[in-house]
Amino acid sequence: MHKKTMLASAMALATMTAAQPVAAQESVFVGHLADMSGPTAFVGKMYADGVRDALTYINNTGGIDGTALEFETIDYAYKVPQAIASYKKWKSRNNMVAMQGWGTADTEALISFVAKDKIPVYSASYSGHLTDPMGKNPKTKKPAPYNFFYGASYSDSCRGLVQWAAQDWQEKRGKGKPKFTHIGANHPYPNAPKAACAAYAEELGFEVMAPVVISMKPGDFKAQCLSLKSSATNYGYIGNLGGSVLSLVKSCNTVGTDLQFMANIWGGDRLIFEAAGDGIKDYIFPTMGPFWSDDVAGMALVREISKVSDPAGEQSRVHHYMRGVCSVYYMKEAMLWAKKNGGITGENVRNGMYATKDWVPAGLEGVCLPATWTAEDHRGINQVNIYKGNYNAGDVKIEKVTEVTLERRADWLGF
Amino acid sequence: MSSLSMRPCGDFRTSYKQDNTIFETKTIRWFTAVIIVAACAVPFVFDAYYLTLFIQVSYLGIAALGLNILVGFTGQISLGHGAFFGFGAFASAWLNTQFSIPVVLTIPLAGFLTMAVGMMFGMPAARIKGLYLAIATLAAQFILEDFFARADWFSGGSAGSMAEPVTLFGFAFDSDESFFYIALFALVFMYIWGCNLMRSRDGRAFVAVRDHYLSAEIMGVKLNKYRLLSFGISSFYAGIGGALYAHYLGYVSAEGFTLMMSVQFLAMVIIGGLGSINGTLMGCVFMVLLPEFLAGGVGLVKMTEWGNTPMITDGLAYIKEMAIGLVIILFLIFEPEGLAHRWQQVKNYWKFYPFAY
């Protein structure tokens, strides 16, 4: 009996010693949900590339102060049940500390789970109601204390565009009230800023017209363009993305509408300009960072990160890629903070997001905009950079129009 | 051959009642009971990943059984089942938040509300069939999808709707471990109900309508009544499944209930076996596990040195999507009667072993 006890103690000691390196956090797990084959794959793939390359690059260059980032990318094709199953798997099997997410449907489905499990989620859904962590605004459906995203919310970027439009109307010396129309599918993602943006447009003196519904899939939208034409809309906000936007621009050119298109963050990129060709004219869209060809300090690091999946360095990335990189790097900085302040756990990573004000991840100066998250306000970015795109005989010309900084109004929190 | 009874020698039936039991033999009955009791221990043994898969099987399985009652037993068709599932989810959340009705009650109530909506859309079913009916139900899908995005008062519109967890005597079933029991209870209850329905007069009427509507009418089966009833029951099941889904997630968003979901339900009943209650569950398990297995395959390839490049892993992600389509096609060609039939053949094989006949 005595021998057995001795043996058991020795074994327990050996196990504890062997377990030590795990406790010292050699690696932490980050889940990555991506849509590369579903309805939002048009931009989902590029964003996912940014996230994957950034995670790999961090690992290749020493991880989080020596702690490697284990990660797995799952293409959930925008199917909520698969997103939940992946989340549960990562949570129970891999001891996930943070997640890089994607769409509105899955991010919202996971709000309660991640809040309970204390796992910060960095989504690419910029829905305004993810910005209220404590449910302070009565309009907030559900407090989202563990949800973050890099960028201005859909509502805020639409407000920024409306501000620009108001100024543009003055400069053009337009007569009477300018008319504003929301164009997009009747779907949570395009609809996310609809009410918020319309309210602000009215505040700024726009006449808000009835929204025009176009499907998320490409199609013939001449009928919708005719109704835009007959209502004499001056400014049209596009809530969709990819092929649907292309079809809209082409249909409206055929019909001969005379309105200023303003796209949401996913609705304007080089690929659309190249595909639309001569049809695109003075197309306004927001970004949350620079373009591939821009000469800013942080682009050197982005180019290095890009070499992870493109060793030759020939590929030029669209700005969605940069947002993926920024999303990962804010998480990285929060993890660095967490490591120094009690270890990389979900809760500490979240606290790491609140630790600094107006911060840009090291090495990405000029790429990621300075952001501030607080325990009461998850509107990290309130700046919207507005660009104008044109296509001239094979050459895509993109120029910066203005920068709009939105105030952090209490009634806009979570709306 | 496949319809041969698996009763052992000497197990004679002397009454109609004995011939119409849910479980064919005593062994099967005991076996099922043991499985259900054993399932109660699952949360103590398996982790949250397995539990979430089981919970998925249960809420999708309940809804799929509804569709099988409509398609497999009554011979109707519906391409709007996903939307009815969504309606149940929103209805339960709405009843709970607007009228403060406890969630245990809103789940069945949501079933009845969905039943009403299903019967409304099923009205044309009394007059039309086949392709025309398919298109009519497709309309239901689109109308309801649009309704979810517009009806702020009901579904919260684009912002979605909150769904409180199930609470019973002050205990909140808000973890995977606790919700598992709710899901298990609902699954067993709804499947037993489904089995009993099929043994009842109404169930036999459904089958009669499916097999030959003219003969059924001549026998005195009211075609319109039973076609509509079948729509109602099918929607009821969809509503219950949807409500469970809502209270499991705690949040319902209109994005999830697309035509793809309806097609997925159809795939479940086709793969499982049209007109088979066991088969529905098998098809549902198959459809829930297939993407997980394929994702596992992608994971294995990623572990190899040559496989861990975005080109290959992304390519496999597409294969994963295509595989689901391929499996459906293969089933239609090689096993049109579904997994239930295959299972029957496996049983027959063992019964007659070592003889082929």
Model pLDDT for residues A81-111, shown as the tens digit of each residue: 889 889 988 998 899 999 999 998 889 889 8
Nearest-angstrom CA–CA distance, A192 and A158: 10
Shortest distance between the Cα of A322 and any Cα of chain B, in A, equals 18
Does A186 sit within 8 Å of B150, measured CB to CB?
Answer: yes
Question: Would the CB atoms of A187 and B149 count as touching at under 8 Å?
Answer: yes
Burial of B116 (0-12, 13-18, 19+ CB in 10 A): middle
B289-335: pLDDT as tens digits = 988 887 777 777 777 777 666 666 677 667 766 777 888 888 888 88
Q: Is there a contact between B174 and A72 if contact means CB atoms under 8 Å apart?
A: no
A187: which chain B residues are within 8 Å (Cβ-Cβ)?
Answer: 149, 158, 254-255
- Per DSSP, the three-state class of B212 is coil
Q: Is A188 within 8 Å of B321 when comparing Cβ atoms?
A: no
3-class DSSP state of B10: coil
Binding-site residues on chain B for chain A (CB distance < 8 A): 47-49, 51-53, 56, 60, 146, 149-150, 156-162, 174-176, 249-251, 253-256, 260, 288, 291-292, 295, 299, 302, 309-310, 313-314, 317-318, 320-321
Question: CA-to-CA distance for A363 and A129, rounded, in angstroms?
Answer: 30
Residues of chain A positioned with their CB less than 8 A from the CB of B314? 36, 45, 75
Q: What per-residue confidence (pLDDT) applies to B1?
A: 35
Give pLDDT, residue A17. Answer: 43
Distances (CA, A) of B173 to A113, A212, A287, B165, B176: 13, 42, 43, 6, 8
SS (H, E, C) B150-171: HCHHHHCHHHCEECCCEEECCE
pLDDT of residue B125: 74
Give, in order, the Cα–Cα distances in Å from A77 to each of A16, A145, A350, B56.
42, 26, 27, 17
Per-residue pLDDT at A136:
87
More confident residue, B219 or B129: B219
Ordered by where they begin, the domains of chain A are 27-152+296-381 (3.40.50.2300), 154-291+382-412 (3.40.50.2300)
- In this complex, which of A45, A85, A113 lies closest to B56 when CB atoms are compared? A85
Instruction: Please give the Cα distance from B41 to B45 (Å, whole number).
Output: 7
Name the residue type at position B16.
Y
The first and second tokens of residue B159, run together, are: 């912002």
Cβ neighbour number for residue B138 with a 10 Å cutoff: 17
A contact test, residue of B60, B253, B264 with most A CBs within 10 A: B253
Q: How many CB atoms lie within 10 A of CB B308?
A: 12
**Percent of the residues in chain A that have a pLDDT greater than 70, as a whole number:** 94
pLDDT tens sequence across B106-148: 999 999 999 999 999 988 877 887 888 899 899 999 999 989 9
How far B197 CA sits from the closest chain A CA (Å)? 29
Contacts of A108 in chain B (CB under 8 A): 160, 251, 253
Q: What is the pLDDT of residues A100-149, one digit of tens each?
A: 999 988 898 898 889 999 999 999 999 888 999 998 888 777 889 999 99
- Computed over every residue of chain B, the mean pLDDT equals 88
Of B49, B53, B60, which has the smallest distance from its Cβ to A93's Cβ?
B49
Closest chain A residue to B311, measured at CA: A309
Contact A111 B161 (CB under 8 A): no
User: Which has the minimum average pLDDT: A93-97, A154-158, B11-15, B281-285?
Assistant: B11-15
Among chain A residues, CA nearest to B156: A141
Distance from CA of A191 to the nearest CA of B (A): 6
Q: Minimal Cα distance from A37: which residue of B? A: B318
| Distance in angstroms (rounded) separating the CA atoms of residues B297 and B320 | 9
Whether B353 has a pLDDT exceeding 90, the answer reads: no
CATH class in words for B32-352 = mainly alpha
Q: Which residues of A touch B (CB under 8 A)?
A: 36-37, 45, 49, 52, 72-75, 77-82, 84-86, 88-89, 91-93, 103-105, 108-109, 111-113, 116, 129, 141-142, 186-189, 191-192, 194, 309
Q: Is the pLDDT of residue A22 over 60?
A: no
- pLDDT tens digits, one per residue of A157-193: 999 999 999 999 999 888 889 999 999 998 888 988 9
pLDDT of residue A19: 44
Answer yes or no: do A187 and B254 touch at CB < 8 A: yes
Q: How confident is the model at residue B6 (pLDDT cuts 50, 70, 90)?
A: low
**Cβ of B158 and A88 within 8 Å?**
no
Tell me, what's the pLDDT at A23? 45
Q: What is the pLDDT of residue A187?
A: 84
- Range in A307-316, A352-361, B154-163, B188-197 with the lowest mean pLDDT: B154-163
Question: How far apart are the CA of A301 and the nearest CA of chain B, in angstroms?
Answer: 20
- Choose the mutation target among B54, B255, B300 for the interface with A, i.e. most A CBs under 10 Å: B255
Task: Answer whether A141 sits within 8 Å of B249, measured CB to CB.
Answer: no
Which residues in chain A have their CB less than 8 angstroms from residue B319's CB? none
Q: What's the CA gap between B71 and B235, in Å, rounded? A: 12
CA dist A223 and B257 (Å) reads: 27
Cα distances from B190 to residues A86, B187, B277, B281, in angstroms, run 27, 5, 11, 12
Pairing assessment for the beta strands A121-123 and A147-149 based on DSSP bridges: parallel
Q: Domain ranges in chain B?
A: 32-352
CA Rg value for chain B: 21
